[in-house]
Amino acid sequence: MSVGPSDGTPGGGGRTNLFSPVSVDRISEVIVEQVRLLIREGKLVPGDRLPSERSLCEQFGVSRVTVREALRVLEASGLVEIRVGARGGAFVTQPSSERVGKGLAELMTLASMTAGDVTEARMVFELGILPLVVERATEEDIADLRVLVEQGLNELENGSYTMAMSAAFHVRVASAAHNPAIEMLVRTFHGPMLMSLQQAHIAAPLMGPRGAHEHFELVEAIEQRDIDRARTIMTRHLQRTADRLAEYANPTLEDPGNEE
C-alpha cells in the first residue's frame, strides 16, 4: 500500500502544510508516543498485552519493521517487556524503582559525576530522610532491617561482604520512610555507586566490622525513635565512607588510620 513518501499523507510532499503543523519524522516515534499516552492515561495498565506485531502493523497501517522499532524504544524506556513465543508479545511493565535506577545509573557513570559527588548527595538525602524514617518505621521495617544487619555480620565473618549488601541495607532504611519517591532516589544513588566502586575493585574493603556495627546501632536508634542518635550514627557512618572514598580516589593523602 505504500505508506512511503508522496502518498496522501500531509507533510509528505511539497503541499502547503497550513494546518498540519509539525508532522512526522519517524513514524515509529508517533507509535511510541501513542502507546506512551495510553499507558499514562491508564488505558493500558501493567500486565496488559499489546496486540501482536502483525496486528499492530494493520492497525497503524505501517510495516512490521516500523512497529518493531517502536517496540524497541518502548522496551528501552522500560515501559514494556517483550516475550517471545505463542501468547508472547509486548506486555506493559510494572514501573519499578529498580528499572528506573538502572537506566539512570548507566548515564550517571557517563556524566561527569565522581563518586564523591554521589556520596555528597547521598549524605544530604539519607540524613534528611532520617526524621521521616524514625517517625514512620513500622515493626516490619525494623524486623527487615535486623535481618539485613545479621546477614551482613554473617557475610562479614566469612569474608563475603559486598557493597551490594550495604546498599540493600541503606535502601531498606529509606523505604521505611514510606515514600516511593524517596525510596527510588536512594536506590538510584546506590546504583552508580556500586558500579563505580566495583569497577575500581575496591568493593570489599569499604565495609568492615565498624560499618556493620553502625548499621546495627542505626536500627536500634530507629527502633527507639531516637532521631538525634540516628542522625549522629548515620553522619559518622556516611562520613567515613566518604573519607574512604576520598582516600581511594587520592591515595597520596596520609592514612586516616582506621579500619572499618
Partner DNA sequence: CTACCAAGAATGGTCTGACCAATACGCTCA
Partner DNA sequence: TGAGCGTATTGGTCAGACCATTCTTGGTAG
For binding to its own copies (CB under 8 A), which residues are involved?
Answer: 25, 28, 36, 39-40, 65, 68-69, 72-73, 75-79, 84, 95-97, 99-100, 103-104, 106-113, 117-118, 120-121, 124-125, 127-129, 132, 179-182, 184-185, 188-189
* Residue 146, helix vs strand vs coil: helix
3-state helix, strand, coil in the chain (%, to 5): 65, 5, 35
**Residue in 18, 84, 111, 181 binding DNA, rule: CB under 7 A:** 84
The CA distance from 39 to 45, in Å, is 6
Question: What minimum distance in Å lies between the beta carbon of 95 and its own copies?
Answer: 4
Question: What minimum distance in Å lies between the beta carbon of 62 and its own copies?
Answer: 14
Residue 78 near DNA by CB under 7 A: no
Residue 88 near DNA by CB under 7 A: yes
What is the pattern of x (binds DNA, CB under 7 A) and - over residues 18-47? ------xxxxx-------------------
Question: What minimum distance in Å lies between the beta carbon of 49 and DNA?
Answer: 8
Question: What minimum distance in Å lies between the beta carbon of 254 and its own copies?
Answer: 25
Tell me how far apart the terminal alpha carbons of the chain are, to the nearest angstrom: 70
6 binds, among its own copies, DNA, none (CB under 5 to 8 A by kind): DNA
- Match 563505580 to its residue by C-alpha cell: 196
Cβ count near 208 (within 10 Å)? 16
Q: Please give the size of the binding site for DNA, defined by CB under 7 A.
A: 35
Task: Give 90's strand partners.
Answer: 82
> In this structure, what C-alpha cell is assigned to residue 123?
549524605
Q: Which is nearer to DNA, 53 or 260 (CB)?
A: 53
**Residue 132 and residue 182 in contact, taking contact as beta carbons nearer than 8 Å:** yes
Among 72, 109, 103, residue whose Cα is nearest residue 184: 103
Q: Which is nearer to DNA, 53 or 183 (CB)?
A: 53
The HSE-up count of residue 19 (CA atoms within 13 Å, CB side) is 0
